[in-house]
Structure 1
Amino acid sequence: MSEQRVAIKMQDGVADVRLTRGDKMNALDPAMFAGIIDAIGQLQAMPGLRAVVLSGEGRAFCAGLDMASMASAGSGVDLKTRTHGLANDFQQVAWGWRTLAVPVIAAIHGVAFGGGLQIASGADFRIAAPGTRMSVMEIKWGIVPDMAGYALWRGNVRDDHLRELSYTAREFDAEEGLAMGFVSRIAADPHAEAVALACRIAARNPHAVRAAKRLANLESDAAGTLIAESVEQAGLIRTPNQIEAVMANMQKRPPNFRDD
């Protein structure tokens, strides 16, 4: 790919991932779609990864689709074909963050419109700057959210709020987004807050964190969830990292966890 759209920097188990089309408010063109999908693939295979921070350079997190560049690129695409497990290419740029084994924290500022809001919603947490502008914008263009938004919002956003916003494309701010469930937390410096949270997660037993994310992602009835809890716990108890967590707490020292 000739055009750089996503940058990844790794430090102490935390991957700092940035959308780098800042001059276009990180709007989604074909190169951005390809760059995000490639970045998710790199992260899936990255040794020692414990948490991810996702943000955008410049004035915005992501302004949604670059309609001019996507108009011709999207013609003739078979949206029903699954290219990444449950998802197609367009859905993978949002759904892929949810399927990563480690927690993902989105740091949002400026705007998160349409596809940009769906990408942020793929994260485990969304930390937004005060006044960040958001919209479920697709109906403005005569279409529906189709980048995994409905699957990601269900359980976070109350149904009537989601219906109103998807029917109208009304813009709302981070403060209203917090009340509705689109935002997890508001911070003056969302990127710094996200990195701090990622570092706290990275300091915990990485196998237990991954198990907790698997349980959080689980879609099952009570019986299925209860047995999944037991299976995950049985796989953690008396392992080296679990023993190290106990010993570090008893000895009041930082733990030294293994990622293998």
Structure 2
Amino acid sequence: MARVSVEIENHIARVTLTRGDKMNALDNAMIEAIVEAGESLKTNDDVRVVVLSGEGTAFCAGLDVSNFGKFAGEDPETLLMPRSHGAANLFQQVCMVWTQVPVPVIAAVHGVAFGGGIQLALGADIRIAHPDTRLSVMEMKWGLVPDMGGMAVLPKLVRSDVMRKLVYTADPVGALEAQAMGLVTELSDDPLAAAMELAGRLAQKSPSAMRAAKRLADFAESGADEAAVLLEESREQAALIGKPHQMEAIMANMQKRAPDFK
């Protein structure tokens, strides 16, 4: 059965986890399908925004427990240590691929986002959650540590003590508390509708400026020194000024019409 669907319309790619009967739990096929979906969008110039969601009652309940039995018979070094996707292994790429997609990624989160599920959501630029959503960095429950990209992104979102408590305890937190921590961007009674509305607005912005903004944000968060960030600001801006997308943005604003970016 298909684990992930990708639908592209009006420059918005809707990526949906389609294992709703299993709360979109991550088995090997789901992991591979998520990574494949993300990789396919990295070079799609028609896509301006991605919306990531899960069908059924949950965004993603984390690793399918049946996988524990499969992993028990494999050498963990052989399974985890090879770098199959740049700096990441296959499991880490579930999160990291969305940071590498060159356009904004919005996660619409509902039900639960546990373990690998929260790490998947953290790969997005923006997370919109239903108020009743529960989130947990759950690996410690199983005697493990986060290993699906979470430790590459968590320190950018929350304070060190908050991150450590989440990792050490594996306690679930509600969406309101998660928003206060920095894990959730905003709350909505219909997170998918809110994500699609936001995606529609972002898709009307200059595509080249939006991609530049994501690159610049990534660079600013990379730990580069102030001088390097200021230079990168200037470099990205110089590449935009006077170009067709920027000129169309100016004309559309002045003429009070929707832009038409070619």
Give TM-score scaled by structure 2 length.
0.95
Aligned equivalent of 1:28: 26
Give the match's secondary structure for 2:156: coil
Whether the aligned pair in 2 keeps the contact of 1:30 and 1:73 (CA below 8 Å) is no
Aligned equivalent of 2:195: 194
Letter in 1 for 2:7: K
Answer with 76-85 or 91-100: which moved more: 76-85
Aligned equivalent of 1:207: 208
Q: Which runs of 5+ in 2 are unaligned?
A: none
Letter in 2 for 1:117: I
Distance 2:101 2:157 in 1: 19
Asked if residue 124 in structure 1 is aligned to residue 122 in structure 2, the reply is no
Asked if residue 182 in structure 1 is aligned to residue 186 in structure 2, the reply is no
Aligned-residue sequence identity (percent) comes to 54
Asked if residue 256 in structure 1 is aligned to residue 255 in structure 2, the reply is no
Aligned pairs for 1:1-260 within 5 A? 3-73=1-71, 75-76=74-75, 77-218=78-219, 219=222, 220-258=224-262
Give the match's secondary structure for 1:155: helix
How far residue 104 of structure 1 moved from its aligned partner, in angstroms, is: 0.2
Letter in 2 for 1:223: A
Give the match's secondary structure for 1:49: coil
Distance 2:141 2:94 in 1: 21
Letter in 2 for 1:97: W
How far residue 73 of structure 1 moved from its aligned partner, in angstroms, is: 4.3
Distance 2:79 2:56 in 1: 33
How far residue 70 of structure 1 moved from its aligned partner, in angstroms, is: 4.3
How far residue 198 of structure 1 moved from its aligned partner, in angstroms, is: 0.7
Letter in 2 for 1:22: G
How far residue 156 of structure 1 moved from its aligned partner, in angstroms, is: 1.1
Distance 1:86 1:20 in 2: 28
Whether the aligned pair in 2 keeps the contact of 1:30 and 1:70 (CA below 8 Å) is no
CA 38–242 in structure 1, closer or farther in 2 if over 3 Å, else same: same
How far residue 71 of structure 1 moved from its aligned partner, in angstroms, is: 3.0
How far residue 85 of structure 1 moved from its aligned partner, in angstroms, is: 1.5
Distance 2:69 2:217 in 1: 36
Distance 1:47 1:155 in 2: 28
Distance 1:131 1:216 in 2: 30
Cα displacement string for residues 74-106 of structure 1 (whole angstroms, at most 9, x for unaligned residues): 722342221111211001010100110000000
Q: Which runs of 5+ in 1 are unaligned?
A: none
Q: How many residues align?
A: 256
Letter in 2 for 1:17: V
Distance 2:182 2:81 in 1: 29
